[in-house]
Structure 1
Amino acid sequence: MFFQKGLLASALALCAISAPLPECDEPRSSTLSVAQQLKAPTPPPPGTLTAEKLIQIAPATASCSGGDFAAECADATRATAAINKAFSTYKITEKGEKAALVAYMLFESGNFKYNRNHFPAPGRPGQGTRMMASKYATAVAGATAVGAAEAQGPDAVLSLVNDDDEKSFGSAPWFLTATCSPEVRAGLVAETTEGWHNFLTECVGTTAAPERDAPWIAAKQVING
């Protein structure tokens, strides 16, 4: 009898050892969480501007200290956030166009130190934004708002687009898409000196002064780098 009980116990033990263990289903949410963590971040669009890049282009944008118009100044961190948003809004994707717009805004606003026309003193009322645009308010704020502001004076009209960084920095991208010809834009995309000068003379309506070339050259080098 003892021998039979021993055999039975051994048989039960072998069955227990050989029986397959139940599979444990891992929660699906855990697997998805790991996959999401391993997923590579989406790279920024080509030519995305960063504060570091803007400071490389124009070192004066690193800080607003020492400026004559402190309330109007935007440093590199503040400026790049608004510029990239404006590029997205107006679908500016070409590096050559981005470089030209950054260079133009830097020159017109004294490296983003002001956003109203101050020169020659006392400046031209109603002219401003980061590219010193005059015809931008209606496109952004609407004719009704502009009409009401006009009764208070040109500076009130400018305030419609100048008290918000996205709108103030959006003036140049808007201007490019709304007023410049396909030929002018193609010249900016090609990044040639002729294309840059044609943008200034044919679209903006200003002179291709030599001092305007330096920020454009710097912007091209950094944005393409």
Structure 2
Amino acid sequence: MWSTSLTATLLLVSSLLAAASPISSIFQRDAALTEAQMIAIAPKSKTCDDPPAKGECATAQQAAKFTSQSFETYKVTSKAEQAAIVSLMAFESGDFKYNKNHFPGTPGQGSMYRIDNISIYISPCAVQWLTWEFTARNMQSPAFNKKYASSIPDLKDQIAKVANSPADLLDLLRENETYDFGSGAWFLTTQCSQDVRSALREGSETGWQKYISDCVGTSVTDERKAYWERATKALGVTGA
């Protein structure tokens, strides 16, 4: 009798575990970014055909994979926070086409693309001056790159060799896509105040603006907002 009861109990537990397993898998899939979401946020990331900078471009598929890994590593589970990070990375990198600074070419700056005070020829009678700032899927100054690299256990033995060379330190991060895409989540979770994160999690434009101005330390622009709006829509952020 006891044996029969034990068998029945084990069968019940096995059934419950079997039922729970697919649910866990579904949760993991839902938590991960998809290629389609990345393309919706950064339309030019669909391919890397004819890239503007050799060896720097990442496709939407690659961006989705490694950004998802960074969210898992740094436990960024809020869709509103994820949308803010992805939109910033996509905007700063020109849809993931660049991963280091090119204009004016500051050594060690984790920029994909940057243009400062470029003279744009409009017509024989007009010249418009624009200031564009693109500071990367890495998007960090050499000082922050050093902090970021120092936080990665697997780089411990290599940091000493490049500590005095911002460019070499950046290359150390760039050569590994996990680290290359990981700085956005690292920056949010280690450099942004809890006040900023709480506001950002609300999913509102006000919270996002606070993140951009108070943590990232740059200005809110229509271009940035357009990326953020696409990201909140693609990730299904409520409250936006």
Under a length normalisation based on structure 2, what TM-score does the superposition of the two structures give? 0.72
Please state whether the residue corresponding to 1:176 is helix, strand or coil: helix
Which residue in the other structure is 2:140 paired with?
133
Q: Contact 1:64–1:70 (CA<8 Å) still a contact in 2?
A: no
Are 1:174 and 2:158 counterparts? no
Name 1:145's counterpart in structure 2: 158
User: 202, 212, 222: which is aligned to 2:224?
Assistant: 212
Residue 88 (str. 1) matches residue 88 (str. 2): no
Q: How many residues align?
A: 192
Runs of 4+ with deviation above 4 angstroms: 141-144
Larger Cα Rg: Structure 1 or Structure 2? 1
> What letter matches 1:43 in structure 2?
I
**Tell me, which stretches of 5 or more residues in structure 1 are unaligned?**
1-31
Q: Determine which of 176, 179, 200 is the counterpart of 2:212.
A: 200
Cα distance in 1 between the residues matched to 2:95 and 2:200: 21
The equivalent of 1:44 in structure 2 is: 27
Q: 1:143 to 1:202 in 2, by over 3 A?
A: farther
Task: Please name the residue that 2:106 is paired with.
Answer: 124
Counting only pairs closer than 5 Å after superposition, residues 6-155 of structure 1 correspond to structure 2 as: 40=22, 42-45=25-28, 46-120=30-104, 123-128=105-110, 130-134=137-141, 135=144, 136-140=148-152, 145-151=158-164, 153-155=165-167
Query: What TM-score results when the alignment is normalised by the length of structure 1?
Result: 0.77
Q: Where does the alignment leave 5 or more consecutive residues of structure 2 unmatched?
A: 1-13, 111-135
The offset of 1:203, in angstroms, is 0.6
Report whether the alignment pairs 1:190 with 2:199. no
Q: Alpha-carbon deviation of 1:220?
A: 0.2
Deviation, 1:145, is 3.2
Cα deviation 1:32-88 (Å, max 9, x = unaligned): 9xx969x63620344521001111122111001132113111101111110111100
Equivalent pair of 1:100/1:196 in contact (CA under 8 Å):
yes
